[in-house]
Amino acid sequence: MTRLAPNRRVSVSIPCDMLVFGGTGDLALHKLLPALYYLHRDGRLHPDMRILALARQPLERQAYHALAERRCRAQVARADFDAATWQSFAARLDYFAMDASQSADFSRLAKRLNAHRVQVYYLATAPDLFEDIANHLALAGLAGPQSRIVLEKPIGHSLESAKAINAAIGAVFNESRVFRIDHYLGKETVQNLMALRFANALFEPVWRAGHIDHVQISVCETLGVENRGAYYDQAGAMRDMVQNHLLQLLCLVAMEAPVRFDAEAVRDEKLKVLQALRPIDGLDVQDLTVRGQYVAGKIGGQEVPTYYFEKNVDNDSDTETFVALQAEIDNPRWAGVPFYLRTGKRMAKKSSEIVIHFKPTPYRLFHGGAANRLRIRLQPEERISLQLMAKTPGKGMRLEPVELDLNLAHAFQQKRRWDAYERLLLDVIEGDSTLFMRRDEVEAAWAWIDPILRGWHEYYQSPRPYPSGTNGPEQAQSLLSLQGRSWQD
């Protein structure tokens, strides 16, 4: 069973090897190794677990240790980094130079591994390597019944490519051993969303069309494409963020209560939401979606360049760095309730949140006042707040909104909040797939996204420019304002 409160000690019952393909990349060095360091420090890894980083660079073990230590020091809080702890962690960590496209290198790898141990293969690589790696693992005899494989998003770039990847992986690993990771699902507040809904009688009765006016889901970043220009210019915000992160958040908001809190029951309910999404195709693409691309502006007082002047980006690029859209779910619970999704780079502030806007009271005794609003913030801080109307002090009956605010870090008095990758890596080691995407989920998401991408192409819907440091193109505001609503900024 997945932990909603991961502060109790866990013992891993069996030793395993975790092999990280792409071991010199940003994901491995900035996210995976720091998460594994914390799990090691907190005694959550089996004493005999080993970590093997795999990449093309011809590095000796000590050189990789130096690289990993430098990157981990930059990512781990200064108070949490301890030299002795690092040395004991480094004793688990090894490096193996290989080319993931060459079958001969997998034969060499097989000689390094113990066939009787559980092998966890983490593919922190480009998706176009997923099929080759799976096939080479099988040919080298490294895909035994105890082995597991972890795939980073995006799984393909379309429904057709996602099906091809899933089929190739499925030919080697059965579905119970495939972990498609979305780190948003490992965030504490995201899991608290399920607790909030299904463990509190206050919310479940009103969590439906009769009481909710609309829902907003926003993932806004102040960063640009950084060192990911070559990848991002091929993907864009729709493939990079909406197809996975935002649709997964939508599923958790909209799903029915699972019959059990286990992997299959939870994922069954999420799949039903994806299948109930009303298609956006044809001319609806122009009315219900907005593409944007950032131009020069200021972030934190610093000048930043236009998107197409970023490193490894085509100077004629029409890739979107911003998407806003209106989705609707055709089922009894949500009929008529719009879900507004928005994500963008170089925005005014960094913020990921879900905002549930309730309908106003049918009889306004006090002539005015805002409707109730539930805000679930994922970052920069994790908190849940409920806006209520209250009387202001003094004469008369003048109302103002006030917030009931739950700061999760303060509520549970934890010294440090778990990073999403810590929780998800531990789930992989323990074989718990509740917080991972199933094959049919991924394909259902692509089936909904593909017609939008085609519509943009067929109707030449170029991205609208927006200055860096703003809240996106004006057309994104109109998406709501035409219906008397506004983004919660």
Query: Where in the chain is CATH 3.30.360.10?
Result: 185-481
At 164 the pLDDT is: 95
| pTM reported for the whole predicted model | 0.91
Query: DSSP state, 239?
Result: I
pLDDT at 46 over 60: yes
344/75: higher pLDDT? 344
Rounded distance between C-alpha atoms, residue 340 and residue 353, angstroms: 12
Task: Say how far residue 266 (Cα) sits from the centre of its chain.
Answer: 17
Rounded distance between C-alpha atoms, residue 53 and residue 122, angstroms: 10
The pair of three-digit structure tokens given for residue 5, joined into one six-digit string: 């409160």
At 3 the pLDDT is: 37
Rounded distance between C-alpha atoms, residue 283 and residue 452, angstroms: 10
365/310: higher pLDDT? 310
The pair of three-digit structure tokens given for residue 309, joined into one six-digit string: 């002047």
- Per-residue b or e along 56-76, where b marks 16 or more CB atoms closer than 10 Å to that residue's CB: eeebeeeebbebbbebbeeeb
Cα–Cα separations (whole angstroms), residue 233 to 70, 90, 264, 312, 425: 29, 36, 35, 8, 29
For 265-300, write each residue's pLDDT tens digit: 999 999 999 999 999 999 999 999 999 999 999 998
Is 245 a known active-site residue? yes
114/302: higher pLDDT? 302
For 195-243, write each residue's pLDDT tens digit: 888 988 889 899 999 999 999 999 999 999 988 888 899 999 999 999 9
pLDDT band at 77 (very low <50, low <70, confident <90, very high): confident
CATH pick for 16-152 out of 3.40.50.720, 3.60.20.10, 2.40.50.140, 3.20.20.105: 3.40.50.720
The pair of three-digit structure tokens given for residue 344, joined into one six-digit string: 């963008």
Query: DSSP state, 129?
Result: G
State the catalytic residue, choosing from 136, 214, 245, 357. Answer: 245
Query: Where in the chain is CATH 3.40.50.720?
Result: 16-152
- The CATH code for residues 185-481 is 3.30.360.10
In which element (H, E) is residue 400 found?
A: strand 399-407
**Cβ atoms of 323 and 242 closer than 8 Å:** yes
pLDDT at 8 over 80: no
The pair of three-digit structure tokens given for residue 231, joined into one six-digit string: 């990848």
pLDDT at 368 over 80: no
Rounded distance between C-alpha atoms, residue 123 and residue 137, angstroms: 12
Rounded distance between C-alpha atoms, residue 189 and residue 416, angstroms: 14
Rounded distance between C-alpha atoms, residue 219 and residue 375, angstroms: 13
Looking at 12-16, 207-211, 276-280, 358-362, which range is the least confident one? Answer: 12-16
* 3 state DSSP class of 443: helix
